[in-house]
Structure 1
Amino acid sequence: MPTQYGVIARWQALECGLTPKAIDYRLRPGGPWRAMLPGVYLAMTGTPTPEQRDMAALLYAGSHSVITGAVAVRRHHLSCAGLNLIDVLIPADARRRSTGFVRIQRTTRMPEKVYKAGPIRFVAPHRAVADAARTMTSFGDVQAVVCAALQWKRCALPLLIDELNEGPSAGSRSLRRALAEVSDGVRSTAEAGLKKLIDHSDLEKPLYNARLYTPDGDFIAKPDAWWQRAGVAGEVDSREYHMEAADYRATQMRHNRMESYGINVQHWLPSVIATESRTVLSDLRRAIAAGHARPLLSVVTMVDG
């Protein structure tokens, strides 16, 4: 069927006038059709495409089904770790079991709003991210998808928090932790790595995402980490989270502006934070010590709360 990427359910083939014998003939070894899932067939040869797999999952799960989890996250143009499974939501009273590459999730909270790409139905970004996170075993993977969804403005933090509170508790520990970090002001996986490194070191604790102003009230910047007395700012430079040239330029301009007010800006790539943590901490120790040896900067610090 052209509108279903060449995927057809058995009941559809019967409605089109094919007899059970004719269907079985097409499914014979070497025939033009192949079974993808129970009662769902690919009416062509070759390896199924992602669209054909998604279509097959929905045909198998029923007319009220909708894709969620990692596959739905990717449908919203976000990268997402995950197994080669398609998570599909169905109403709690529906009768379908997980099979093959389809993982069935019964729910009493079927989404009111459903996104569509042709015949493919999938959930909103916040539901997709939360459901994907609940299936992940690595906190880093959960942290990455949550940060990416917020960084690229696919959904708002309150919606993710609502989904955490309203959804199932099973598998939610890492999601809760990731959202707690974001609520503390960490907006990317890279920033979270810097915060973790600092908090587990012997360095004096900085302020995270504090807003810096001149005495006249002009805004200077909002660094990832700020040692007020020392006048030292710590920043993560990441092409991964600042993909656009304009974003990267804005980062450089922010650094230049801070330095013009006498702030010692220390900045690193995420890979350096992950693999050369001792160097990062040594650089910060020297910068903070030097900052304590000079007069206090005329910078006003403001923090939320």
Structure 2
Amino acid sequence: MLNKRTNPFIIVFLSLFSLACVIPFWLVLTVSISNENDIASYGYRFWPKKIDLVAYQYLIHDSANIIRAYGVTIFVTVVGVVASLFITSAMAYTLSRIDFPFRNALGFYVFFTMLFSGGLLPWYLVYTRFLHVQDTLLALILPGLLSGFNVFIMRTFFTNSIPPSLLDSAQIDGASEYRTYFSIILPLSLPVMATIGLFTVVSYWNDWFTSLVFISNENLYSLQYLLNKTLMNAAFLQSIADKAYSNTANVTQPLESIRMAMAMVAIGPLVLVFPFLQKYFVKGLTVGAVKG
């Protein structure tokens, strides 16, 4: 009886919560197709007073660079996520093994990196003076390969979800550590792998600072950095127009609608990826974060 009374309220609450999540996307879409003068006069509206696609036309003029930046970002994201999951899971599995002799020392080292960093200058010098990866795709991949936070989430998942007896059985049957890792550990770790994979996808996809620091070749610009640079150029042109036509006509660049159009262009792939990982997301995060 309690469930029958509770379920309608839960359904209504979740429906309202889902609507609250969709509304911002709808607002971004409507602003991106709104006239800049209407935005300045009436503010953000859930339905444009007048549909104006000038922001998307502005981006279409730079479509070749955007498509190339899309390719760079997709390549960096795919390679980075695969490599990051392999390195993170391997280290987490090592830390989860009680019989590993340097388990505590390595765990403290990973934890230490979560609290302290060398700073921006040493970080830059390592990649430019020692690794010499500036103006290469490796400069966009290497900085995001390993996260101490992700290692500890995955380590806790391995500790709590994979019974030691299963590993002992594999050793009795003659399986090596590599065979155990690839044939037993990874197939049983899909929830946490999908969760950490989603974290890593978002991190790589939204990264623009790495391109700003290491990339000067326009052919290697990431999507986020290219869009940010395009917006900065539009703002610069607007400032020049304001000075040049301050006493005559008012020339307006569609800055606000361009900003929202860029958001729509950049967010598309993430919206498509998330539904496929959603069923693993909650389970992997909760099991990997709570120690039983």
TM-score of the superposition, structure 2-length normalised?
A: 0.22
The higher-RCO structure (CA 8 Å, 6+ apart) is 2
| Structure with the bigger percentage of strand | 1
Q: Select the structure of larger CA radius of gyration.
A: 1
TM-score between both structures, scaled by the size of structure 1: 0.21
